[in-house]
Amino acid sequence: MASTEDKEPLEHASNEEAEESKPGAEEEDTGAEVAPIVKLDAVSVSTGEENEDVLIDLKAKLYRFDKDGNQWKERGMGQVKLLKHKETAKIRLVMRQNKTLKICANHTVLPSITLQEHQGSDKTWVWHASDFADGELKDELFCIRFGNVENAQAFKTAFEDAQKEMSVKLGGDGGEAEKVTELLEELKVVDKEAAKAEGEPKKKAEEPTPEKKDASTEEK
């Protein structure tokens, strides 16, 4: 049997509903229109990728090796792309973080780069590159992890195909060294949000290992 305390809130709610149902309780529609205080115009943002064709676009998580701390640190999770310029036919790797679109990798796909499995994982690749993501050229050791083996293999195939194209463009191994500097200088991408960002997060990321499953990159 319900107590008096249990009944009171229900009775009170019923009384309020009854009051609201009366004609006098309805809000009067005056027909007035309120104009927005601030009018915002749509602004188109240039990513620097408008003149490039997308060779591959996959979801992945990227790490960079911190030499000072002797550990892997998470660089970001987002879309990794191989982009081919429509006029120069130069191919580069670009990866942006989800939502913020901050660049976390940006380098030319050179024939000298070697993709290697990380600790025997068939979903993870490691490679060295002269990267321009932070606005200046840095020698980086990257590790990228995909949600499944199929995407990892698709990335490797596309990357190696891009290397073959770049090898022909550079005139074989003999001409590569003479043109690398020129290619690297053209990597700078205008990204105001990236310029305002203050360094890398201080949160320490675990070293990516094949034994530990990363659910965040698993394909649905």
Q: How do residues 94-140 score in pLDDT, each as one tens digit?
A: 999 999 999 999 999 999 999 999 988 999 999 999 999 999 999 99
Across 42-90, the runs of DSSP E, i.e. the strands, are: 52-66, 71-85
Instruction: Report, as an integer, the average pLDDT of 158-169.
Output: 96
Range of the domain at 62: 52-190
Domain presence at residue 216? no
Structure tokens at 34: 């309120």
- Residue 133 belongs to a domain: yes
Domain membership of residue 7 (yes or no) is no
Could you tell me which residues are beta bridge partners of residue 57?
81
Window from 40-44, 76-80, 117-121, 150-154 with minimum mean pLDDT: 40-44
Phi, psi at residue 154, to the nearest 5°?
Answer: -65, -40
Tell whether 173 is covered by a domain: yes
Number of domains in the chain: 1
What distance lies between CA 15 and its chain's CA centroid? Answer: 54
User: Does any domain span residue 1?
Assistant: no
- Mean per-residue pLDDT, 128-153: 96
- Domain assignment present for 211: no
Instruction: For 92-104, write each residue's pLDDT tens digit.
Output: 999 999 999 999 9
Q: Would you say residue 110 lies in a domain?
A: yes
> Domain of 145: which CATH number?
2.30.29.30
Beta bridge partner(s), residue 142: 64, 127
Percent of the chain exceeding pLDDT 90 equals 52
88 lies in some domain: yes
Q: Is the pTM of this model over 0.85?
A: no
